[in-house]
Chain A
């Protein structure tokens, strides 16, 4: 158990024709002892490559990776004392569950056979797979294989766990169960963990902190709520949260934002934050938009809109709203309301964008100029 530090880690792949592709660009993050860090981003953003560099399965082009204060850039995977759980589970198909779990102990420790089987039995009991130890992976269900893969990592008692989308091959129900169980296990074991996923729900619910990666560049590292409420930039704002934040491109005209379909007044704090920027992107989360079924817009932050589509989810409804009435393919934005509200496509409603819920981003640099007001301390690490 130890802290894991990535300092300016860069990976450049050279293609056959000499083209260089920067897969991971100057990623720096400190993962504390026992911390659960979720590395999240769209596919191809470099998160798996980052994980594989930590594992030692890819070389590091530049930068430094250290575990427990020891530089591990050039150590072979076997000497890093790291265990990894793969998306495909990567179990050894010709070995029984017990053999799968003892393989690592046999290869990497001096333990005797009795000690190894004791460790394996303990871990199997902890994972609830003690009845399966004599079976081969092919005879197990996906969820059971998943447990064996986790057990194989846990039994080694490594300094750090690396998990590469370990839940993505499970069905939705099982995934939710395993999410909770993984969190509980990690807390119990207290092992430093990097967890890679493309699923922002997993990132939000599981991590102590999340690191958001896009196109090889680290966008933000922070607690799930920091990233949710005070995103560093447009990408983070759009990536975290489901349904996604609504964005509107606006021109700045003094204290007024002027868009294609509506105008929005800024508070003095907001216009101070906007400063010199001429074009900004206005962001607002769907659940922050207030919907009134009757009445008409009588303040500058209220708008008359039409309901285009209603997506009922049971607990809440997702409304697709539009300023364009009577158009075939209108531009829509989303709002979520209670599942008990009776609203139908075609209804006219009043949407309120509360001033305190507004995010403003520079339209060119996409950096956050102003985030919604909250009573949480702004402890987010700034990424330059």
Chain B
């Protein structure tokens, strides 16, 4: 069997047909086009801020070998880690539970609204869907009122602060976790419902006849068949909640509980000017977790979307 891809009579270059050469040329060009901003960010983030002004941001800092490119320094990254450390920790405390809760509750809600049939479920489901369309801006003021004046979460939390690793300001993160879980629920339910509608009704009926309760059917049949969908939902929710600034500004406002997006806003900005290398390093550092999630779960994500 021949493995040549070229067609008879076509031009070829080193055994590759001209079509291939052009194709790869275009792909490489597009790759460069898309990667240049990131490359620029990375290069900028390793330039000594003192030598930054006047250098080409996309060139590696090679002074004194190449003049005009700035000198190499890890100082911006050091500054970013120092400046964002607390925010990163807070973001992790917020994002991990909020992602898991919204995914798990969304899956349960979709199971109850799709696989189990009961009177009035369509009405309830429409309420869920309507939740997707409520604009964030409309709830900002009520949300502040709710967490600061209606629910005495802060007072409840005070005695818990004596526990190890628990700080009094963590109540704001708990409020944020609950808010993000609630807001993520409609879209998670929608995603899981689309998946559950494709599962065979007869399979669920077979489980019923096998003696399984509703809870057992969920735990032993539906949950194991949702793993790919969980990858999709977790990646989506992780990115959404990690990148959120609006709810954080509304609920955390300021102080020790500030999450990474809040810290990022102010870093490297001062009266004396903007420290671009520091801002670039901080931006890359803040984006790193979402990037890692995509790298590690991307293939599951692709499978889940296709499923």
B-binding residues in A (CB < 8 A): 55-57, 76-78, 80, 82-84, 86-88, 90-94, 103-104, 107-109, 152, 156
Segment of B54-62, B153-161, B202-210 in the binding face: B202-210
Q: Are A86 and B211 in contact (CB under 8 A)?
A: no
Contact across chains for B221 and A104 when beta carbons are under 8 A apart = no
Chain B residues with Cβ below 8 Å from A78 are 208-213
> Looking at B208, B211, B216, which has the most chain A CB atoms within 10 Å of its CB?
B211
Main secondary structure of the interface of A (DSSP, over half): loop
Q: Determine if A93 and B207 form an interchain contact, defined as CB atoms under 8 angstroms apart.
A: no
Nearest CB in chain A to that of B210: its residue: A104
- Shortest A56–chain B CB gap in Å is 8
B residues with a Cβ closer than 8 A to A are: 200, 202-203, 205-213, 216, 220-221, 224-225
> Do A84 and B206 touch (CB < 8 A)?
yes
Asked if residues A90 and B203 are in contact (CB atoms below 8 Å), the reply is: yes
**Interface-central residue, B206, B207, B221, by most chain A CB under 10 Å:** B206
Minimum C-beta distance from B177 to chain A (A): 31
CB <8 Å contact, B203 and A91: yes
Are B205 and A57 in contact (CB-based, < 8 A)?
yes
Docked CA distance A94–B206 (Å)? 14
A107 with B203, Cβ < 8 A, contacts A94-B224, A94-B225 known? no
CB pair B203 A92 closer than 8 Å? yes
Knowing A92-B221, A94-B224 are in contact, say whether A104-B211 is a contact too (CB < 8 A): yes
Q: Which residues of A contact B206 (CB under 8 A)?
A: 84, 86, 90-92, 152
Report the bound CA distance from A247 to B213 in whole Å: 52
Extra A-B contacts (6), CB below 8 Å, given A57-B209, A93-B225 = A90-B202, A90-B206, A91-B206, A93-B203, A107-B213, A152-B210
Q: In the assembly, what is the distance between CA of A101 and CA of B208, in Å?
A: 14
A90 touches B205 (CB 8 A): yes
A-B contact pairs, 10 of them (CB 8 A): A57-B205, A78-B211, A82-B209, A86-B202, A90-B200, A90-B202, A94-B224, A107-B210, A107-B216, A152-B210
- Measured between beta carbons, the chain A residues less than 8 angstroms from B205 are 55, 57, 77, 84, 86, 90
A103 near B200 with CB under 8 A, answer: no
Quick check: A103 and B207 within 8 Å, CB to CB? yes
Known contacts: A93-B225, A94-B225. The answer to whether A103 contacts B203 by CB under 8 A is: no
Which of A55, A107, A109 has the most chain B CB within a 10 Å cutoff? A107
Q: Are B210 and A156 touching (Cβ within 8 A)?
A: yes
Give the one of B207, B208, B209, B224 with max A CB within 10 A.
B209
The smallest C-beta distance from A156 to any residue of chain B, in angstroms, reads 7
* CB atoms of B211 and A107 under 8 A apart: yes
C-alpha gap A358/B36 in the complex (Å): 90
In angstroms, how far is the closest chain B Cβ from the Cβ of A86?
4
- For the complex of A and B, the 7 pairs showing the least CB-CB separation, nearest first, are A108-B211, A104-B210, A90-B202, A107-B211, A90-B206, A78-B211, A86-B202
Nearest-neighbor residue (CB-CB) of A162 within chain B:
B209
Question: A93-B225, A94-B224, A107-B216 known; A87 and B202 CB under 8 Å?
Answer: yes
The residues of B that contact A82 with a CB separation of less than 8 Å are 209
- A90 cross-chain contacts in B, Cβ below 8 A: 200, 202-203, 205-206
Bound CA–CA A182/B209 (angstroms)? 21
Asked if residues B220 and A84 are in contact (CB atoms below 8 Å), the reply is no
Cα–Cα, bound, A131→B207 (Å): 24
A163 to chain B, nearest CB (A): 12
Complex alpha-carbon distance, A121 and B200, angstroms: 27
| Distance of A207 Cα from B220 Cα, bound (Å) | 36
Knowing A90-B203, A91-B203, A107-B216 are in contact, say whether A84-B209 is a contact too (CB < 8 A). Answer: yes
- Give A104's nearest chain B residue, CB to CB: B210
Residues of A within 8 A of B200 (CB): 88, 90
Q: How far is the CA of A57 from the CA of B208 in the complex (A)?
A: 9
List the B side residues contacting A152 at CB < 8 Å. 206, 210
| Shortest CB distance A239–B (Å) | 26
Contacts of A88 in B (CB 8 A): 200, 202-203
Query: Hey, which chain B residues are within 8 Å of A156, CB to CB?
Result: 210
Q: Are A103 and B210 also in contact (CB < 8 A) when A86-B202, A87-B202, A88-B202 are?
A: yes
For A103, list chain B residues within 8 Å (CB). Answer: 207, 210, 212, 220
Q: How far is the CB of A354 from chain B (nearest CB, A)?
A: 48
Residues of A within 8 A of B220 (CB): 103
Chain B residue nearest in CB terms to A88:
B202
Residues on A with C-beta less than 8 A from B211 are 78, 104, 107-109
With a CB–CB cut-off of 8 A, which chain B residues contact A104? 209-211
Residue of B nearest to A55 (CB): B209
Q: Smallest Cβ distance from A185 to chain B, in angstroms?
A: 19
Q: From A52, which residue of chain B is reached at the shortest CB distance? A: B205
Residue of A at shortest CB range from B216? A107
CA distance A57 to B210 in the complex (A): 12
Question: What CA separation (Å) do A222 and B179 show in the bound complex?
Answer: 65
Asked if residues A83 and B209 are in contact (CB atoms below 8 Å), the reply is: yes
Q: Find out whether the CB atom of B209 lies under 8 angstroms from the CB atom of A77.
A: yes
What CA separation (Å) do A93 and B220 show in the bound complex? 12
Verify A92–B209 contact, CB threshold 8 A.
no
What's the least CB distance linking A167 to chain B, in Å? Answer: 16
Contacting pair A107 B212 (CB below 8 A):
yes
Residues of chain B lying within 8 A (CB to CB) of residue A56: 208-209
The answer for the CA separation of A210 and B213 in the assembled complex, in Å, is: 34
Q: Min CB distance, A120 to chain B, in Å?
A: 13
Query: In the bound complex, how far is the Cα of B211 from the Cα of A83, in angstroms?
Result: 10
Most chain B Cβ neighbours within 10 Å, of A82, A87, A93: A93
A79 (CB) vs chain B CBs: closest residue: B211
User: When chains A and B are docked, how far (Å) is the Cα of A78 from the Cα of B203?
Assistant: 14
B208 to A, closest residue via Cβ: A77
Which residue of A is nearest B205, CB measured? A57
Once bound together, how far apart are the Cα atoms of A56 and B220, in whole Å?
21
Q: What is the CA–CA distance of A82 and B220 in the complex, to the nearest angstrom? A: 21
A86 vs B202: C-alpha distance when bound (angstroms): 7
Minimum CB–CB distance for A146 against chain B, Å: 14
Which of A57, A91, A92 gathers the greatest number of chain B CB atoms within 10 Å? Answer: A92
Contacts of A86 in B (CB 8 A): 202, 205-206
Shortest CB distance A4–B (Å):
15
Chain A positions within 8 Å of B202 at CB level: 86-88, 90
